[in-house]
Structure 1
Amino acid sequence: MADSFTTRTINVTTGSTETVYDLTAACGSFLREVAPGRDGLLNVFTPHATAGLAVIETGAGSDHDLLAALHQLLPADDRWQHRHGSPGHGRDHVLPAIVPPHATLPVIGGALELGTWQSVVLVDTNRDNPRRQVRLSFLG
């Protein structure tokens, strides 16, 4: 059985454009504070119906490629039945079915056990809501 559970909500401002926002540093900072030298799991969750979380490479174009792929898969046009907000906003409500609002990651020795090029990111295609919350929870 785990020795402890610690959770914290962080606020993220994503702006008025579609964004892949890197959370890796925030996750690392949280773990250094609450789990120094410990093993366990980090759960990352965003309580929004129009955002998701992914583990991808950033900075080499993959973040832009992800947004481009989502544009092809979920075009921002008038095909969506969910029609409030900016044009094509209905697709933002479909996003979490493809890019889930949660990720659970291994923590070894108090640090995220990510691959060399992996980052934890918030994927936000909703231009109508620039303020997001992300809950970080360590179980270990």
Structure 2
Amino acid sequence: MSSMGGVVDFAEEAMGKRWQKYIEDAVEVQESVQTLWEESLFGIPLKEVIQTAHHHSALISLKSAVSKMADFDRLVIRYLDLCHNVIHKGIEEIQGHIKAHEDDLRLVGTAERESRKMAELSIQNLQEKVSELF
């Protein structure tokens, strides 16, 4: 009977100490429960809580949706920043390679000019030596 303690307490509160006499009468039980409910005055606050929750549920849902959109927005911005950085880095690397090739071309041009001068000097020296010999 200890597991039924709450039921017994409720029955005594609703129907009195002689609740067992009336427990089989469904109408009596219903009336007693209805009277207890009305006397408890729980109906008014409970109704207000339900109405308030109902009125605020749309706002809560909207706030939740906006929060999810803000999270998604941050993810998209982070992704776009990453793409921008990769593209910008790629452009900087390409520009660096172009400059390095330009520098290499200048070095090749300088080396080519110096080689021609050296070749011309060598040919000139060789011609002079050949002229001296003959």
Give the shorter-chain TM-score range. Answer: under 0.3
Structure having the larger proportion of residues in strand: 1
Structure having the larger proportion of residues in helix: 2
TM-score, length of structure 2 as denominator length = 0.21
Query: Which structure's relative contact order is higher, taking Cα pairs within 8 Å and 6+ residues apart?
Result: 1
